């Protein structure tokens, strides 16, 4: 039997009173794609940070190709042969692909006097492209690239150092379309064929069976299972049950009774914004969830931002509770009772370096100040504690910076922030990107609860999500609304309308 390329034994890590990892045993074979699974808070992120050299383990050992390594910094991990592509790759968008790949490594000679050798950089880049057959124009600015191209640049950046044995990919498909995901899988297969092992973190469980050779499941800070995908298929294993430790039914809450829809809260008529969308009209009511499905480029996200006052409207009318409103800024929208849960929580939804107790009241400072000039610290803390408990934030810390939480728990902080506003209209854009199955069920349940007192709109490029959670659905295609033939789409008709821009006959 060949020796695993990476072996971890007895790995433990404590943060104050929280035991994040407990005696973890884990290994990866050479040239395999190994999925790392677990709900938010299971310990995956902490373990990956240890392998990446970002934090240090308290106990245990890590071996690469049988040799014990001491990973005290990201440089140590790279020298040992471990490279990591984070969920949100730190690329410089106004620099081209070539400069991003070799950022900080423009010269083979270290120190201040190393000369930037662009000819050598170009030669090394061409060798990388030839080795992995990646169709990239590295002269283009990264900001102009598609999401899958940026992911490829980040992977090449990670592999630019010699002798990388293990590549860690953290949620690489979270912002990709289905076509882009297949392109990424093709690149991953090339890496596997060349003997590079991949640790693949994903919450999209269907991807495990599509691309991985094996998987490990983390739960409660330890690795509770390791299995080959072939064995899992043969045994009809439920990955969700393994992750949660219990059987899970339908993650979507029951739909509302069609006859129970309440009064209209939000009404939009003839909304148009430059070349992004036009002719958008719909109503959102209490006691129901309205779903809007559209692929990237459909105009869905721009529509949400226009209603929230971020994007300018050329024409159209918006009413909240029968009153005309014309939000020019997010402040205007918040004052009108509209709250947006944005698609990019990191840059648009949170102050990442500030804790939950700062983020939660941020969109309703009037409530936080109680009508006065100063924030009511004790009241704000009590409200923040109650709301973070309601959304099941884990760990339940009000003082930890938002950046210290997993993606799913960051989303929960945004949800608590929205609940604090006590809005009349809640618009959720791509609400479960990077969120595990257990947290998704919690979020969908919160949406259903919110719909009892407010209008709830879910906008997503995931057709199954829109159809699963919504009571009524709309499709958008290339900036225009596709009307359902019967008033309500079935799942296949909704998908067809979003992809083809017309009703399914």
Distance of CA 109 to the CA centre of its chain: 38
Residue 272 has pLDDT above 70, yes or no: yes
The per-residue pLDDT for 491 is 82
In b/e form, how buried is each residue of 375-405, taking b as 16+ CB within 10 angstroms? ebeeebbebbbebbeebbbbeebbebbbebb
Task: Give yes or no: residues 159 and 84 share one domain.
Answer: yes
Does 148 map to a domain?
yes
Task: Give yes or no: residues 15 and 94 share one domain.
Answer: yes
Does 455 map to a domain?
no
The per-residue pLDDT for 108 is 57
| Helical residues (DSSP H) of 347-436, grouped into ranges | 356-359, 365-369, 377-390, 407-421
| Contact between 457 and 290 (Cβ < 8 Å) | yes
| Contact between 367 and 361 (Cβ < 8 Å) | yes
> Who contacts 82 (Cβ-Cβ below 8 Å, separation ≥6)?
6, 51, 52, 53, 64, 71, 164, 165, 166, 168
Helix, strand, coil percentages (3-state) for the chain, rounded to 5, are: 35, 25, 40
The residue out of 194, 213, 244 marking a domain boundary is 244
Does 377 map to a domain?
no
How far is residue 259's CA from residue 261's CA, in Å, rounded to a whole number?
6
The per-residue pLDDT for 3 is 86
Q: What is the CATH number of the domain that holds 481?
A: 3.40.50.300
| Contact between 166 and 121 (Cβ < 8 Å) | no
Region 161-182 average pLDDT: 84
Residue 337 has pLDDT above 60, yes or no: yes
Does 351 map to a domain?
no
Task: Give yes or no: residues 210 and 78 share one domain.
Answer: yes
Task: Give yes or no: residues 78 and 37 share one domain.
Answer: yes
pLDDT tens column, 309-321: 999 999 999 999 9
pLDDT tens column, 86-133: 877 778 999 999 999 888 776 655 555 556 778 888 888 888 888 877
Task: Give yes or no: residues 191 and 299 share one domain.
Answer: no
Total structural domains within the chain:
2
User: Any idea which of 65-79, 99-113, 221-235, 388-402 has the lowest mean pLDDT?
Assistant: 99-113
How far is residue 183's CA from residue 180's CA, in Å, rounded to a whole number?
5
The per-residue pLDDT for 458 is 96
The per-residue pLDDT for 459 is 95
| Contact between 384 and 367 (Cβ < 8 Å) | no
Q: What percent of the chain has pLDDT over 70?
A: 95
Mean pLDDT value across the chain: 88
Q: How many C-beta neighbours within 10 Å does residue 480 have?
A: 16
Residue 248 has pLDDT above 70, yes or no: no
Strand, helix or coil for residue 357? helix
pLDDT tens column, 21-37: 999 999 999 999 999 99
The per-residue pLDDT for 120 is 83
Provide the CB-side half-sphere exposure for 194 (13 A, CA).
Answer: 17
Residue 241 has pLDDT above 60, yes or no: yes
Report residue 195: phi and psi, to 5°: 90, 5
The per-residue pLDDT for 504 is 67
- Specify the higher pLDDT residue, 237 or 12: 12
Residue 233 has pLDDT above 90, yes or no: yes
Does 18 map to a domain?
yes
Task: Give yes or no: residues 290 and 234 share one domain.
Answer: no
The per-residue pLDDT for 163 is 85
Structure-token pair, residue 22:
């407990």
Residue 280 has pLDDT above 90, yes or no: yes
Hey, what long-range contacts does 66-71 have (CB within 8 A, 24 or more apart)?
66/3, 66/7
pLDDT tens column, 365-375: 888 887 777 77
Does 292 map to a domain?
yes
Strand, helix or coil for residue 499? helix
The per-residue pLDDT for 1 is 55
pLDDT tens column, 404-445: 887 778 888 999 999 999 999 999 999 888 777 777 888 899
- Specify the higher pLDDT residue, 500 or 11: 11
pTM: 0.70
Q: Which domain holds residue 73?
A: 6-244
């Amino acid at each position: 039997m060949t020796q695993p390329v990476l072996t971890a034994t007895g790995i433990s890590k404590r943060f104050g009173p929280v035991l994040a990892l407990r005696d973890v045993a884990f290994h990866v074979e050479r040239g395999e794609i190994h999925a790392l699974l677990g709900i938010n808070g299971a310990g995956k992120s902490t373990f990956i940070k240890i392998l990446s050299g970002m934090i240090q383990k308290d106990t245990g050992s890590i071996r690469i190709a049988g040799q014990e390594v001491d990973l005290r910094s990201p440089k140590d991990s790279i020298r040992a042969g471990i490279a990591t592509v984070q969920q949100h790759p730190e690329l410089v968008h106004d620099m081209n692909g070539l400069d991003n790949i070799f950022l900080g490594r423009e010269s083979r000679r270290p120190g201040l006097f190393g000369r930037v050798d662009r000819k050598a950089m170009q030669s090394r880049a061409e060798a990388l492209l030839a080795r992995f057959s990646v169709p990239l124009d590295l002269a283009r600015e990264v900001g102009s690239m598609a999401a899958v191209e940026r992911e490829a640049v980040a992977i090449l950046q990670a592999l630019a150092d010699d002798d990388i044995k293990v590549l860690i990919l953290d949620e690489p498909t979270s912002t990709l379309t289905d076509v882009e995901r297949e392109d990424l899988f093709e690149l991953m297969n090339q890496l596997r064929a060349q003997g590079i092992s991949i640790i693949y973190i994903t919450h999209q469980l269907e991807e495990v069976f599509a691309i991985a050779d094996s998987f490990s499941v983390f739960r409660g800070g330890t690795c509770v299972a390791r299995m080959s995908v072939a064995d899992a298929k043969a045994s009809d294993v439920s990955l969700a049950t393994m992750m949660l430790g219990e059987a899970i039914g339908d993650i979507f809450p029951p739909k509302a009774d069609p006859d129970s829809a309440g009064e209209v809260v939000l009404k939009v008529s003839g909304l148009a914004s430059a070349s992004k969308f036009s002719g958008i009209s719909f109503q959102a009511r209490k006691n129901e969830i309205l779903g809007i499905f559209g692929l990237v480029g459909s105009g869905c996200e721009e529509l949400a931002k226009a209603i929230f006052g971020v994007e300018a409207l050329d024409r159209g009318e918006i009413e909240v509770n029968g009153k005309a409103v014309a939000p020019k800024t997010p402040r205007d929208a918040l004052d009108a009772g509209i709250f947006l849960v944005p698609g990019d929580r990191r840059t648009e939804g949170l102050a990442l370096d500030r804790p939950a107790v700062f983020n939660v009241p941020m969109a309703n400072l009037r409530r936080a100040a109680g009508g006065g000039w100063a924030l009511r610290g004790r009241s704000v803390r009590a409200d923040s504690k109650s709301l973070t408990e309601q959304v099941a934030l884990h760990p339940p810390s009000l003082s930890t910076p938002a950046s210290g939480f997993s993606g799913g728990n960051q989303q929960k902080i945004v949800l608590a922030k929205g609940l604090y506003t006590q809005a009349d209209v809640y618009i959720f854009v791509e609400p479960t990107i990077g969120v595990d199955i257990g947290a998704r069920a919690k979020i969908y349940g919160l949406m259903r609860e919110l719909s009892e007192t407010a209008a709830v709109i879910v906008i997503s490029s995931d057709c199954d999500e829109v159809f699963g959670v919504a009571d009524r659905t709309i499709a958008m295609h290339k900036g225009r609304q596709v009307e359902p033939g019967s008033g309500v789409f079935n799942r296949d008709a909704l998908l067809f309308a979003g992809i083809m821009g017309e009703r399914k006959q």
